[in-house]
Amino acid sequence: MKKLMLTALAVVSFTFANAQDGDTGQTAKGKWLIEANTSFGAPGNGNTAFGLRSRDGETDWGLGLEGGYFVMDDLAIKAGLGYADSSEEGALSTFTYKIGAKYYIMSKIPVELSYAGLSIEDADENPSYLGIQAGYAWFLGDNVSIEPGLRYNATLNEDADAESNLQFNVGFALHF
């Protein structure tokens, strides 16, 4: 697991170091990003996405939003907040916070590296995750993009009853 995360960090670092100059439109330096994701993974497991899952008569749901600022062409520094809850008896609600960076390779292929923490109601220890995500951005005009992607959240603390997880996300972003 550590080798996978170190390899992913090296790839992202190499990508940042080889950033291209020039006007990149929606991902140009000084632009803002507001993003909402739909998650096809478990709500509340280190993500700030909109999600709904029902199984055996129990419903899990989550909602969240992320925002970012492009500090250079194609590179945005991001932060996000989310909330998740469940109808399951005894289930606890969770509050998620996330910080990270998102780089658009060739202004079309978003790669994100982020840290997410969870605050669980009445928990002794709260889990945290290191996440890496990659996808593709379809820009619909000057201000909107649709970004399907795959995200892996690696747990950083085994003692918090947390599990690493893989998610398929579809993001909707506003660029201005």
3-state secondary structure 108-174: CEEEEEEEEEEEECCCCCCCEEEEEEEECCEEECCCEEEEEEEEEEEECCHHHCCCCEEEEEEEEEE
pLDDT at 100 > cutoff 70: yes
pLDDT at 24 > cutoff 70: no
Number of domains in the chain: 1
In a domain, 124, yes or no: yes
Q: Above pLDDT 70, what percent of the chain?
A: 81
Q: Residue 106 maps to which CATH number?
A: 2.40.160.20
Domain that holds residue 41: 2-16+31-89+97-175
pLDDT score recorded for residue 87? 83
Give the pLDDT band of residue 158 (cuts 50, 70, 90): confident
In a domain, 167, yes or no: yes
Q: Which of 18-27, 29-38, 77-86, 131-140 comes out lowest in average pLDDT?
A: 18-27
In a domain, 60, yes or no: yes
pTM score, two decimals? Answer: 0.81
pLDDT score recorded for residue 125? 84
